[in-house]
Amino acid sequence: MTKFQDLQLSEALVKGVLKMGFEEATPIQAETIPIALTGADVLGQAQTGTGKTAAFGIPTIERIDTKARQVQALVLAPTRELAIQVAEELNKIGETKRVYALPVYGGQQIDRQIRGLKKNPQIVVATPGRLMDHMKRKTIKLDEIQTVILDEADEMLNMGFVEDIEMILKGLPAERQTLLFSATMPPQIKKIAERFMKSPTIIKVKSKEMTVENINQQFLELREGQKFDTLCRLIDIDSPELSIIFARTKKRVDEVTEALIKRGYTADGLHGDLTQSKRDQVIRRFKNGTIDILVATDVAARGLDITGVTHVYNFDVPQDPESYVHRIGRTGRAGKTGTALTFITPREFGQVKSIERVTNKKMNRRHVPTIAEVLEGNQKQSAEDLIERVQAGDFKAYTQLATELLEEYEAVELLAAALRGLTKEPDSTPVEISYAEPVRVKRQGGRNDRGGYRGGARSGGGDRRTGGGDRGGRSGERSGGGGYRGKRTGGTDDRRRSSEDRGPRRPRD
């Protein structure tokens, strides 16, 4: 394996990389970094999860002139989630060199971004639509760009951004370095490479082996309003030792965590808004068993290495199969078996087939458990706990009291009452979980001339025309006997949340 110290990097950059916990370069990093450091163009074929952000980020940051206060590198990303995620990682890598990356994406107030651009970041990570807004407003200067990176180019193609990308590339200096990364290489991506790249070095890296052999994969088809009660019933029936619940947004993480605590479970949440000290505290509590349920977003759970997780619950189905594999890989470790359960709403059923194709393993359908089944499971658990106490023999101090009670009551009645006291009955305490739009299965094809998806209605307001205003939607629902609150919102708050607060909507950018 290649160590970062062997890649001819500056001492400051190596220090920053090692500070992040990286020790050895992944294959895409080992192959890309030496070539990119020379200023040559690179055409990389690599899946998400192979370390490609550091592969293009490290050489880009190394070539930045820290004394020059202007945008020197541009990263184009298909979604606001990825833009924020990439910017965060670049800022961590470049911290010791004092290189700053600014994310620019639709849904955030453009005035706030203009203020950020005036602070002269050296790197801008942008979604195509919002970048073009800034170009038209002349609020961003790109005449000093020396490196441009196209991240997840095939996804930008799927979302219809090809024309925007071509227009952006035409507006950049001709003498520049271009790095293009894509999981697949469809003809349109190859055409972009031919038109805008100079004799690129082609690097292909196989995706990580998606091993799910030790994991029992199940899915439940249910309505959005059934999710939380079903989750509680599954936890009661399965009695997981340690479990991780994945939710799509920070708001959902907070709401599910609070709702679980209301119903008597020991849970805590993990998402991008937590400080490092709070994050460390939550993970420590989970590792030592102070809490046995961790509710997390994908981004927060990245790199989470905790042994003993027996169950993973996908409260919200992930956006893509690769994220699914990353999630369920938190269980079934070190040769042990694990269980992964995924909640699928009827409109998301296509995700099951996509996941099965990627993992090459069938997901078993599980029915939504009834209250009677939960009660039966809890009763069996109470009986097992009682038997364990008898076998342990730690009840001697209660023998005299038990003898006195047996003189007054029947043994069966006493035992039944004891089991009744030990058994946790299903809790129907009302809780509120925000409504989330279903994930849409990716489709090939471009946008129509109004910027929407071909063959489907546009989801949410386009940021290029409205500044990111959401068209509204159901703001919440009540689980445990309430139904939807019926309240509708038409503001921009939802759109102004950062990466982990976004649902599955993928409008313009």
CA 448/CA 268 separation, integer angstroms: 44
**CA–CA separation, 95 and 16 (whole Å):** 7
pLDDT tens for 231-273 read 999 999 998 999 999 999 899 999 999 999 999 999 999 987 8
Cα–Cα distance, 456 to 151 (Å, whole number): 25
441 has a pLDDT exceeding 70: no
Q: Residue 379 and residue 385: Cα distance in Å, rounded? A: 10
User: Among candidates 244, 249, 243, which has minimal Cα distance to 297?
Assistant: 249
Closest to 31 (Cα-Cα) out of 200, 169, 152, 185: 200
Alpha helices, H only, 290-343: 298-301, 321-328
Is 77 exposed, middle or buried, given 0-12, 13-18 or 19+ CB atoms closer than 10 A? buried
- Counting residues of the chain whose pLDDT is more than 90, the rounded percentage is 44
- More confidently predicted of 436 and 218: 218
Q: Which of 280, 331, 275, 327 shows the shortest CA–CA distance to 299?
A: 327
Identity of residue 235: I
Between residues 427 and 40, the one the model is more confident about? 40
Per-residue confidence band for 436, with pLDDT thresholds at 50, 70 and 90: confident
- pLDDT tens digits, one per residue of 62-91: 999 998 889 999 999 988 878 988 999 999
Could you give phi then psi for residue 477, rounded to 5 degrees? -145, 160
Q: For residue range 173-195, what is the model confidence (pLDDT) as tens digits?
A: 999 999 999 888 888 888 999 99
Which domains are delineated in the chain?
A: 4-204 (3.40.50.300), 215-371+428-433 (3.40.50.300)
| 146: its two tokens | 């020396």
pLDDT of residue 424: 74
pLDDT recorded at residue 49: 61
Contact 74, 123 (CB under 8 A): yes
**Amino acid symbol at 365:** R
What's the pLDDT at 305?
64
pLDDT digits (tens, 9 = 90+) for 220-239: 999 999 999 999 999 999 98
- Which one has a higher pLDDT value, 146 or 276? 146
C-alpha 250/C-alpha 252 separation (Å) is 5
What average pLDDT does the segment 275-288 reach? 86
User: What is the Rg, in whole angstroms, of the alpha carbon atoms belonging to the chain?
Assistant: 26
Alpha helices in 143-223 (DSSP H): 153-158, 162-170, 187-196
Are the CB atoms for 383 and 376 separated by under 8 Å? no
Please report the pLDDT score of residue 216 as a whole number.
Answer: 93
Taking only the tens place, the pLDDT of each residue in 116-145 is 999 999 999 999 999 999 999 999 999 999
Place of tokens 């799927």: 158
Residue 212's pLDDT is 65
Q: Any alpha helices (H) in 63-176, and if so which ranges?
A: 80-93, 110-118, 128-137, 153-158, 162-170
Whether 368 contacts 223, CB under 8 Å:
no
pLDDT of res. 302 = 61
For the residues 336-343, what does the mean pLDDT come to?
93
User: Rounded to whole angstroms, what are the CA distances from 135 to 139, 164, 229, 328, 496?
Assistant: 6, 12, 48, 41, 21
